[in-house]
Structure 1
Amino acid sequence: MADLTNGQANGQNGTDGRANGHSQPSLPILIIGSGSTGLALAQGLRQAGIRCIVFEKQPSSARERDWNMGLHWGAPALKSVMPEDMWSRIQSVQVDPSEPTKAQDTLSFVRGDTGETMVAVPVSYFYRLRRSKLRELLAQGVDIQYNKRLCDISYAEGGRSVTAHFVDGSQATGSILIGADGARSTTRRLLLGPDTASINRLPYAATFVQQKFPKEQALYLRKFHPLYLASAHPDNRFAFFGMHDAADPEDPSSWTFFFYISWPSSLEEQDATADWTDAQRLAQQKEFAKTFCDPWKSAYEWTSDDTPVWYMGLTDWDPLREGHRWDNHDGLVTMVGDAVHPMTYQRGQGLNHSITDANNLRDALIKIHQGADRKEAVTAFEDEMIARAGKEVQESTANSRLLHDWDKVTLSPFYNNGLGRN
């Protein structure tokens, strides 16, 4: 276990550990954040026999919100960090475990007002995973410490160790610290300062709905595609409709659908409507949906006015931007996933890049464990990740902008390249 005390952390006095610039091999790796990325990395390290501890700011594994994510070109990376018996259960974490993942599938991108197919996007082994189920699967066998909110990071003299300090006064010392703590990462803020690390707000917003329907309505709505449907509307709006949870494949009334309409929304508008209620958010979505084709038009019409929703403005943070490279303290600290490359979601790339980060960092940490230079291995990992995922941050943001501009929809990466890797 890591040192979770209120006193001096192990190794801070510089009296033990290996030569200058090398971590103590007996110390665990510290992972901040128990999202899909942090847990995937922890599983990869667990399979490699490298001790790690995950620290999560929430008081338990339960989360207020749940959503689903597309996994496609990143699937081999997820398989790589999982034990074989765990990967064999990947079907169980899909939005509909009874719907087999196809070797080849086609996702339709339709015109929002007429339903006319604009482009058919080919995709191989497209997994639609529920976040909560994926996290539950990846958490198995992992040491997770809950209610641990990071507030500071300190480094032992000579680079022997790194210590995470938590709001509750406890601390943990490890060989390397990895921030996997999401789009508004505390790790990123501590490494770069609050201004540079601040999330970049974009002039687009979306309101998300999760809803069950009576049997006949559910069957009607699902006939458009069993998992996923997207559209662009001439009113400069983008929409998504999909399955979130097919609790009982034989009982359509048990199915939960997940859908939203996103639209251009200035930062001024976002600020002015910050205090809107769920009812106001849903009413706005219902008004948008009146000019949409089905399934959106009927789904919103059939959704009760008091249905809870959640709203968010779109954001990103580009690690390729000048001034955004952090000091990794000779390889003692780094970041992965949304902590370092949060991106817009209309092109469905976030999970794929994040899991790839976990796979690649796992490989780098194995090399360090085997004696490779820590700074060189971590920096090489970061160089690849920043180039790969930073490009995707830029492309995903450009994609979101083009999808909300009817005159330029056909120029968007999603329209031209589908879900393929950039």
Structure 2
Amino acid sequence: MKTSELKNLRVAVIGAGYAGAAAARALTEAGAAVTVYEQASQIREVGAGIGLRPSSMAQFERWGIGGAIKAVSSPSDGFEILTADDHRIAREEWPEKSAYGETTHLIHRGDFIEALVGSLPTGMVRLGHKLDTITDHGGSATLGFTNGETATADLVIGADGIKSVVRERLFTDAQPVFAGEHAYRAVIDIADTFGMADDGDLRMFIGRGTKVYLLPLLHRGQVSFDVTALNADGTWAPAVTQDDIVATVQGFDERIVRMTEGLDMAAVNVRAVYDIEPVERWHTDSVVLIGDAAHAMCHHQGQGANSAILDAGALADALVAAGSVPDALAAFQATRKPVTDELQRISRHGWTEDELDDVFPGQKPGQVAATVQG
């Protein structure tokens, strides 16, 4: 699209999370007029750490925010896979380093969303706007919010996560799928990891039915500590005690057991893991899904946030290159959907058949739909 057309394009982004904030930044750089609608009354991200891959870091450099992201993250040379009792299985450098001239950076989720949203023009993000209705007119769409306000845009970007209202209203009413596992996450002092994360490498320890991840946040003097375990309880926010979590790491290196015993449960994020089935079509002529709204996936590959960032870049590129919004949305889906379909598929294969049979005899939890609770 011509620069003048992009400047006159009214874009509404639903959701100010990774996908929404990244899309807003990318489209602002391309010259579009963007408004972001966020249901929360304040921007706040819970959870722990994530890894931003070289391809994502290259996008940030393109958008002029590479320095801001690097200022609140730690570069990492590689990742290591180990047995539960701390014997190395493999160590690799992060892929894509040579292709993009960047390495992976490890960052706290809160710092990441603060840096992304902080890069947007003042007033672009409108808080307290929970989407209720969306009416697709073909060349535009009208949004209705629970606070009584409405807005019409030439392009609506549904970046409203795994429980996406945009997806449910226009594309599919299929509910998220329980992955048959829980994730327990906290940020702890690096001193409390007994030297197991001092060098900046991401480490994954593999036990039977349980994985433990140590993701160093060296710039903070902290480590993101994640225990992911098979569990049949699909409650969205399950009730879990410290004894429950300690029990899941029995048989792991004694230092990991001690880390778990020392957790402050008030600071532990506990959730059941869900993804969604691949969505057949991500767009109409004026509405498009990105990020988790389009392709929420399990976290075993560490690709959720990275996929959202690459979506944002690909969408902006498609709008610049195409002659119209419908053509751009079709090109965007053609570029990104094959990639995320495959990542969704791979991310469902984080466990052996024997491990699954221990908890789900005769079933495959990634294939069994469960209604989201809570």
Q: TM-score range by the shorter chain?
A: 0.7 to 0.9
**SS state of the match for residue 182, structure 1?**
coil
Report the Cα offset of residue 403 of structure 1: 9.6
Partner of 2:259: 299
Partner of 2:215: 242
> Which among 294, 317, 325 is matched to residue 280 of structure 2?
325
Contact map agreement 1:201 1:316 (CA 8 A) in 2: yes
Change (3 A) 1:341 1:91: same
Please tell me whether residue 151 in structure 1 is matched to residue 132 in structure 2. Answer: yes
**SS state of the match for residue 341, structure 2?**
helix
TM-score, structure 2 normalization: 0.83
Please tell me whether residue 121 in structure 1 is matched to residue 92 in structure 2. Answer: yes
Partner of 1:383: 334
Report the Cα offset of residue 245 of structure 1: 6.8
Report the Cα offset of residue 24 of structure 1: 10
Partner of 1:231: 205
Report the Cα offset of residue 232 of structure 1: 0.7
Report the Cα offset of residue 182 of structure 1: 1.0
Partner of 1:6: none
Number of residue pairs matched? Answer: 343
Change (3 A) 1:261 1:141: closer
Report the Cα offset of residue 260 of structure 1: 2.5
Please tell me whether residue 40 in structure 1 is matched to residue 22 in structure 2. Answer: yes
Contact map agreement 2:185 2:224 (CA 8 A) in 1: yes
Contact map agreement 2:72 2:107 (CA 8 A) in 1: yes
TM-score, structure 1 normalization: 0.74
Please tell me whether residue 75 in structure 1 is matched to residue 41 in structure 2. Answer: no
What amino acid sits opposite 1:374 in the alignment? V
Change (3 A) 1:37 1:168: same
Change (3 A) 1:363 1:54: same
Report the Cα offset of residue 228 of structure 1: 2.0
Report the Cα offset of residue 244 of structure 1: 4.4
Contact map agreement 1:263 1:404 (CA 8 A) in 2: no
> Which among 71, 78, 88 is matched to residue 106 of structure 1?
78
Report the Cα offset of residue 318 of structure 1: 3.0
Please tell me whether residue 137 in structure 1 is matched to residue 146 in structure 2. Answer: no
Deviations 1:332-389 (A, max 9, x none): 0001111111111121112222111100100122235xxx132222112112222111
**SS state of the match for residue 16, structure 2?**
coil
Contact map agreement 1:25 1:175 (CA 8 A) in 2: no
1:50-61 map, 5 Å: 50-61=32-43
Please tell me whether residue 358 in structure 1 is matched to residue 329 in structure 2. Answer: no
Please tell me whether residue 92 in structure 1 is matched to residue 71 in structure 2. Answer: yes
Partner of 1:207: 184
Q: Could you tell me how far apart the structure 2 residues matched to 1:24 and 1:46 are?
A: 10
Q: Could you tell me how far apart the structure 1 residues matched to 2:142 and 2:295 are?
A: 24
Percentage of identical aligned residues: 20
Report the Cα offset of residue 301 of structure 1: 2.9
Q: Which runs of 5+ in 1 are unaligned?
A: 1-22, 248-254, 408-422
**SS state of the match for residue 89, structure 1?**
helix
Partner of 2:368: none
Contact map agreement 1:344 1:396 (CA 8 A) in 2: yes
Bigger radius of gyration:
1
Q: Could you tell me how far apart the structure 1 residues matched to 2:342 and 2:201 are?
A: 28
Contact map agreement 1:210 1:258 (CA 8 A) in 2: yes
